[in-house]
Structure 1
């Protein structure tokens, strides 16, 4: 009887056994050809848990004759790295697989990096965090390849599951298991592209199922029960969490209600209500803006209610807010205008504040030439309120324009007023 988990036993032994990740290790990729020709470059593998980073490394090692040493950066020390270096001196070259490489400390780096640089140690690092954010630049600079792995497709997972069911040496092939193609497909669909979860789920199903005359009978209700929340991945600080926040905002900006709700659901399952609320408030003013000015207060009320309610009830006002933002008219003109003004200041486009706008609330202001301001409220103009034709920008930049209206929703009315006032100013 096997003691190791099924997912461990079914790891690919060579690169030809890898399922999925064809963009990284397919037969037409440079990496595949290099390994087949006996050259293994140092590299970083980046991606979510369970999508095959470790399996890819073991498959690469199995496709070469080099000594293979796996370590974890969270538990390894200087002595472990020195052991790798000593092995490289004896054998000429080793492959070092360093999992959680973003936790690699400076002492380990100082010991290892010269040997990676001279080629005696081939460093393959794996991380769930964005290497451009979390991996030390010294490591990145010595890894010629930074490869992002993707979640496996359903077809890849079905291939892995069937391989496990039929493999007599490493898998479940010696057992008689009654499982339908539809049930295998349901497992593949329910694990969110995670090969480890797919094989672990299959193994759990076998253990939990009844037997009849030596045949294991897989039942639909048991699959549903075990899948549960298996598709949720992320934490409050990981790179994937920020990818989810980014995807939520871009889906709202693109008016895709279903996609926005999907990413909101995933974020709420991860559990960072504060980050979700903050992002929704930003979106209300960044992406909806003047086109639907009522949305900002609505979202503020929804996020405040979510904090007061807590989960799971918080999802209710947040769902309202996300759908309203998706279907609202959109404009980014206000913050773009402010950014243009900030950029102008940084570029040195400045000037003296006009005398009539300067403070006059002190004795001696008149002697400095301050004054002459005309109070707009004393000059009504239709239903607009008060307006008077006087300059406000410094004379040196009087012709600059920062705001460009977006003709959407309520901003159409504001845009018409803006253009009309510009015409009035030209008559000065």
Structure 2
């Protein structure tokens, strides 16, 4: 086998060799046509690891024939940037590929940005983080294209694997390898749209397979062992992880049990139990709320059980909690009410606390005008308990109506009580 990794050797040499990402650089796109016509704009490529950001940069360099320099923002300093600038003065326009661009510091920016703006340097930045959150606006403003790459499809990965198996110059085409179409499909399934993992796994499987009479014999057991060892899930704290959390909550809110289980499975395979349980607790109160108040206690119990059990057993109580939330009645009225109150306060809709609600547990409170509070428990109201008609809000915001009940589940009863009490107050 060759010294360079298969994933490195199989990088596309031109944009016509790029597999997948047709929405970004397919023949029908404006970017493809610009590059073919000799114009390469500065751009940001955003997406999960292993889906082609570096490969696309290499392919653009190969097609445009521009001098290509690659840096990583986590390890490069101002001197490295100055060397790129010096290179552009000697050779003319340079294509700079900057990985982890969201870590670009101010000194690097100051040295590089004027040359990007003048067109002497074409900047292709790559990041796994959302560029609208994590990339400096100065960088974004100089990149005419911000492209989000997608995970490669199963068919894309199969195509990459077949290309690697047949390519005699860069791939494994010079080796006799006995590997079935079903095994190629299984490798594609086991790498979750990550091209680098797929090619690395293929090479590792071939190298680890038994060699008989000059032929590598790939066994199903070896394929499964490698899939388990390499793993298929992404960075715990990258954008993809937070997208999974978002998708889980939106699936629960949308009452889709199957989708919620799918995203929960992805999250648990990442292994960050704390982040998952925290989000589930938020969901119980944000999305189920007063429609089914018992869900909050149920989810808390499930999260506590999960913490005590640890993975993989933690999946059992968490799956139950997610299923219950999906199929429960839903209301966001309580959290919308507190948000409305907070917004009103920040806007300045405030007033003085009514005198009868102020503290009277000290000598002199009466002289300040405090007092006159009526104790509701002394005035029973049917089966409701105690209630008395008195003002609780400051007079300046007396008519505020932050809470808007949702007529769902248990909140139907709460809504009825709320409206009845409002009607009592209107009789004053």
Which residue does 2:111 correspond to in 1? Answer: 111
| Structure 1 position 323 matched with structure 2 position 323 | yes
Give, in whole Å, the separation in 1 of the partners of 2:155 and 2:143: 31
Contact 1:190 1:230 (C-alpha < 8 Å) held by counterparts: no
- Alpha-carbon distance change, 221 to 153 in structure 1, aligned in 2, over 3 angstroms: same
308-317 vs 180-189, greater mean Cα deviation: 308-317
SS across alignment from 1:63: helix
Which residue does 2:246 correspond to in 1? Answer: 246
1:285-330 deviations in Å (ceiling 9; x for gaps): 1111111111112222222233333333333332232222222221
Which residue does 1:137 correspond to in 2? Answer: 137
Which residue does 2:266 correspond to in 1? Answer: 266
Which residue does 2:304 correspond to in 1? Answer: 304
1:50-106 deviations in Å (ceiling 9; x for gaps): 101111000000001211111222232222222211111112210011112222222
Give, in whole Å, the separation in 2 of the partners of 1:103 and 1:368: 58
Give, in whole Å, the separation in 2 of the partners of 1:254 and 1:279: 16
Give, in whole Å, the separation in 1 of the partners of 2:225 and 2:199: 16
93-102 vs 358-367, greater mean Cα deviation: 358-367
SS across alignment from 1:345: helix
Which residue does 2:8 correspond to in 1? Answer: 8
- Alpha-carbon distance change, 155 to 181 in structure 1, aligned in 2, over 3 angstroms: same
1:21-76 deviations in Å (ceiling 9; x for gaps): 01110111111111011011111111111101111000000001211111222232
What is the Cα deviation at residue 396 of structure 1? 2.9
What is the TM-score of this pair, normalised by structure 2? 0.94
State how many pairs are aligned: 428
Give, in whole Å, the separation in 2 of the partners of 1:73 and 1:365: 64
| Structure 1 position 60 matched with structure 2 position 55 | no
Point out where structure 1 has 5 or more consecutive residues left out of the alignment.
Answer: none
Contact 1:232 1:270 (C-alpha < 8 Å) held by counterparts: no
What is the Cα deviation at residue 362 of structure 1? 3.3
Contact 1:38 1:64 (C-alpha < 8 Å) held by counterparts: yes
Give, in whole Å, the separation in 1 of the partners of 2:226 and 2:364: 81
**RMSD between aligned alpha carbons?**
1.9
| Structure 1 position 221 matched with structure 2 position 239 | no
What is the Cα deviation at residue 212 of structure 1? 4.3
Which residue does 2:195 correspond to in 1? Answer: 195
